[in-house]
Amino acid sequence: MATKRKTSPKPVPAVPPVSVITGAAGFLGSHLTDLLLAKGHKVVGIDNLVTGSVANIEHLAGNQNFRFIQQDVTEFLFLDGPVNYVWHFASPASPIDYAQLPIQTLKVGSLGTHKALGLAKEKGARFLLTSTSEIYGDPLVHPQTEDYWGNVNTIGPRGCYDESKRFAEAITMAYHRQHQLETRIVRIFNTYGPRMRLKDGRVVPAFVSQALRNEPITVFGQGKQTRSFCYCSDLIEGIYRLMMSDYPLPVNIGNPHELSMLEFAREIIQATGSKSKVVFKPLPVDDPKQRKPDITLARKLLGWEPQVELTDGLARTIEYFRRKV
């Protein structure tokens, strides 16, 4: 009598994780979208295009794993189906933006974060908040560690951005503690790279565009204030590792290589081969004198540190801006 051959069960296809990204058409949100798609995620991108641009995601047209919704994140977010991760990137993020859009900046940090947390809670998803080094204000501690509480002028012209992010951190931790929501908080330090807006008021596009036009490069004060610059791919990799970690408290992600603004202006002139000269203008109100992340925690928790040298990152960024100027 013939015996029946046992058949192996057919393998169940792996279900790709679903990520929702607010601010998906922005500089950093679009780079995160690319990374997640490359890692096999289905991505739902949400953006009201106030500071984001369709140009940043137009290369994804026709990608079946990407869906774009034009919506203000301060409105209720209704999505069918499962969601595994919510990445809250939406916010104006440059001095020009939050000078022109102070109320919208405060609303996206408060109401928008509340709505994004509500979506994560409803779906049982893990939530990541993109906070900022600006919560440290004009720091009295250098370099800045995550346990430093900051030195912020709540009623100054930058207060709308600083306080929106400080509130966002507070409500994220409230959801973590009261609803046991899995939450992550990244404090982003100065980041640069392709897809930055030419006139967004941040130092890299400002200096690069001026240099490419051979215009005077505007340095505020005496140029002694310092910043540190992290290339976008390094930052996004760090944020991805943080989301996949089990650490709920804030983590600095940035490049600890510190430069004065005068040194950086000269670096840009050399990298572009520009004939620009440096000119000095009065220092803006509440402009931080020093900004440098302590990334000890990121190194220990995430095994992360920046890989892209400033010369390489600037070369890629300048190539992008040459096509825009």
* Burial track 285-306 (b if 16+ CB lie within 10 A, e otherwise): ebebebbbbbbebbeeebebeb
Select from 51, 4, 6 the least CA-distant residue to 205.
51
CA distance 174 to 105: 21
Whether 161 sits among the annotated catalytic residues: the reply is yes
Under 8 Å between Cβ of 294 and 143: yes
Q: What residue ranges in the chain does DSSP mark as E strands?
A: 18-22, 42-47, 66-70, 85-88, 126-132, 183-188, 191-192, 217-220, 226-228, 230-231, 250-253, 258-260, 278-281
CA distance 128 to 304: 17
Q: Which two tokens stand for residue 169?
A: 């951190």
Residue 122 identity: E
Active-site residue among 98, 161, 175, 192?
161
C-alpha 68: how far from its chain's center? 19
CA distance 32 to 291: 24
Helices 113-123 and 159-179: angle between axes, nearest 10 degrees: 20
Residue 172 identity: T
Enzyme catalytic residues: 161
